[in-house]
Structure 1
Amino acid sequence: MKKRSWVAALATPLTLFTATLLASEKLYNFAFKRVDYVPETSADKQKYADAYWAYVNWLYRQPIQKWQLNLGDAENRLVAQYVPAKANSRKTVIISHGYKGDGETMANYAYMFHNMGYNVLLPDDRGHGKSAGKYISFGWQDRRDYLGWVDQVIKTVGKSAEIVLFGVSMGGATVEMMSGEELPPQVKAIIADCGYTSIEEELAYLLKRQFHLPKYPFVPIVSFINRHRMGYFLSDVSSVEQLRHNKLPIFFIHGEKDVYVPSWMLKKNYRATTAPKMMWQVPNATHAESFWIGPAAYEKHVSAFLNRYLDD
């Protein structure tokens, strides 16, 4: 083979490899790097905007307390908003928000639980809102951060506290991942709304659906980048594996028409745990729409589940 032909033959795969690496780096930054604003909701949810802002306005009329974790560590400092119940209560819900959201974006759920007599804690996850962090961990680091919030609730409310873990979308996956940790007896139940099975499966699914790209080689390269930046591979970030260790009662909620986190993920998560469990697929609801499509029905289902497992 002539030298020029050999160089040309080598250049083509090298160029392709370089382009794939650059595309994977861009994908990683797009998906995992923090943004210091809350993106607009999808067009199909704009119809709920007035109701959403009414809930936010309600939240900021409450006697909010600012809570923090890791105060002496600027790179790991975490912030949350705590809304005490109207009357003294042992019941507290810790609400985990969705991807690129923050505690404020969960004001509607805070209102619901507040009306049910709960203290409400609204953390900003690592890489979100007022909390520190360069990257989004999709629930994996957050599951341990939330153990700190659980401890702080117990210190504030007392050892007789009854704690519910509640989350939507990425927050749903976060509380599912928490289920596999060693939790104190004060944590009584978990409610996970439209949580994914694993970030690896979710990323591969969205790559195909939104960008028409295959899982290979992009997901493994992104996983390698995350291992370098965050210290773990994407395959580690699994709701399913954590749910296999779950011992707490858990209520799975999912929109029947969810195409962002597809319903097969709900079924896979549901099958993963042998603990007491319930599942509610909400007719006609898209991703994270189950509350908005019928707030009264949503509260009724949540109350019915929690009344089985909380003393009050």
Structure 2
Amino acid sequence: MKQRSRHRWLLLLLLAAFGAMNAVAFFHAWRFTHFSNEPGLHSPNPEQLGPGRKVWLLLTGIRNPKPHNGPKPSFPVETVTIASPNGPLEAWLARPDSGQTRGTVALFHGYTSSKSHLTHEAGYFRHLGYNVLLVDQAGNGNSAGFRTTVGYHEADDVAATFHWLKDSTSKPSGSPLFWRGAGGEVPTSGEVILYGVSMGAVAILRAEAELGIRPTANILECPYGNMRQTAYNRFESMHVPGFPMADLLVFWGGVQNGFWAFGLNAEHYASQIHTPTLLLWGTADPRVTRTETEAIFTHLAGPKARHDFHNVGHEPYWKRYPADWERQTRAFLGR
């Protein structure tokens, strides 16, 4: 009888512990995928925290205010609105200084970021002769909402932007394509290049694999392999065991946001991508492993190129290797 009672109490203890872990995971998943309307800065990256602050982060969740835009770029931009299933998106449209353009590069930022973080990259694409369109993905910057799904629903933003670009051009008889905007008609080749960083890169892959868009080319910086591995990488960066909390975070994050988060898999999407793609990665990236990067590159089904930046983490590559970053992008687009 005493042994049966002990087993019953042990079972109740295990159930209580499992319930507590799910409650904590639910809370963390909500904080991770929902921005608050409070001022201030996002919690520092886990790898930047000391042991005490890591414990506090595990207990309280991340501080996640909605990302805001910084100053507009030094070159002239036109603010446009793009209709997306996630709500209206704000974007900046800019044309190159030269009249004739090579096409348009649409730029998509990473997690807890905004379009103003990509003005340097956009400026270089303008220098190469492209129109540029910098997009605040849903929940970020001046776009609608306070939610992020780290690439899943953001794929709808990518698709909406792509269709907006295609609808904003026309082909008169005899003609090159023309860009139609508030500033008038500007000749363009009609090419659409998609440039994405981290979350933005994964959103591009899903938009092509599952939503059927067909851009001219992709430039992808540090896309993660799959959501589950990304969660484990986060725990690894804090030197905390991932199991089972990482899996619970992924599960509840998907439930809260209406999708199967374990299926958010860039490696799988890559096998359906026939678009010419340049894949860029930093060898010291704590959030995206070499194994993930190699799997994505191996699975890409179309023409592809890859370049690794030595000893660079999850950060803009042009800051450490400006000449190399420019050389890689210029050579790829020149093909």
Partner residue in 1 for 2:182: none
Partner residue in 1 for 2:33: 32
Q: Taking structure 1 as reference, are residues 182 and 111 closer, same or farther at Cα in structure 2, changes over 3 Å only? A: same
Report the 3-state secondary structure (helix = DSSP H, G, I; strand = E; otherwise coil) of the residue aligned with 1:191. Answer: strand
Q: Judge conservation of contact 1:176–1:239 (CA < 8 Å) in 2.
A: yes
Structure 2 distance, partners of 1:24, 1:84, is 45
Structure 1 distance, partners of 2:208, 2:300, is 10
Q: Give the TM-score normalised by the residue count of structure 1.
A: 0.84
Q: Which amino acid aligns with 2:93?
A: Y
Partner residue in 1 for 2:206: 177
Where does structure 2 lack aligned partners over 5 or more consecutive residues? Answer: 49-69, 172-176, 178-189
Q: Taking structure 1 as reference, are residues 33 and 283 closer, same or farther at Cα in structure 2, changes over 3 Å only? A: same
Q: Judge conservation of contact 1:193–1:254 (CA < 8 Å) in 2.
A: yes
Number of residue pairs aligned between Structure 1 and Structure 2: 292
Q: Does 1:79 align with 2:90?
A: yes
Deviation at 1:39, TM superposition (A): 3.5
Report the 3-state secondary structure (helix = DSSP H, G, I; strand = E; otherwise coil) of the residue aligned with 1:165. Answer: strand
Q: Judge conservation of contact 1:198–1:237 (CA < 8 Å) in 2.
A: yes
Partner residue in 2 for 1:222: 249
Please point out which of 151, 159, 170 is paired with 1:139.
151
Structure 2 distance, partners of 1:113, 1:38, is 30
Deviation digits for residues 123-149 of structure 1 (CA, Å, limit 9, x no counterpart): 111221112233211111111221111
Report the 3-state secondary structure (helix = DSSP H, G, I; strand = E; otherwise coil) of the residue aligned with 1:76. Answer: coil
Structure 1 distance, partners of 2:153, 2:164, is 18
Q: Does 1:69 align with 2:82?
A: yes
Partner residue in 1 for 2:180: none
Structure 1 residue runs of 4 or more that deviate by more than 6 Å after TM superposition: 40-45
Q: Which amino acid aligns with 2:212?
A: E
Q: Judge conservation of contact 1:38–1:100 (CA < 8 Å) in 2.
A: no
Partner residue in 2 for 1:51: none
Deviation at 1:86, TM superposition (A): 1.8
Q: Taking structure 1 as reference, are residues 300 and 41 closer, same or farther at Cα in structure 2, changes over 3 Å only? A: farther
Q: Which amino acid aligns with 2:288?
A: V
Partner residue in 1 for 2:285: 258
Q: Does 1:22 align with 2:23?
A: yes
Percent identity between the aligned chains?
21
Deviation at 1:43, TM superposition (A): 11
Deviation digits for residues 205-247 of structure 1 (CA, Å, limit 9, x no counterpart): 212332513232x244333323432221112211111111111
Deviation at 1:21, TM superposition (A): 1.3
The two structures, once aligned, show a CA RMSD in angstroms of 2.7
Please point out which of 219, 223, 231 is paired with 1:195.
223
Deviation at 1:4, TM superposition (A): 7.2
Q: Judge conservation of contact 2:251–2:262 (CA < 8 Å) in 1.
A: no
Where does structure 1 lack aligned partners over 5 or more consecutive residues? Answer: 46-55
Structure showing the higher helix proportion among its residues: 1
Q: Give the TM-score normalised by the residue count of structure 2.
A: 0.78
Q: Which amino acid aligns with 1:124?
A: D
Report the 3-state secondary structure (helix = DSSP H, G, I; strand = E; otherwise coil) of the residue aligned with 2:308. Answer: strand
Q: Judge conservation of contact 1:244–1:272 (CA < 8 Å) in 2.
A: yes
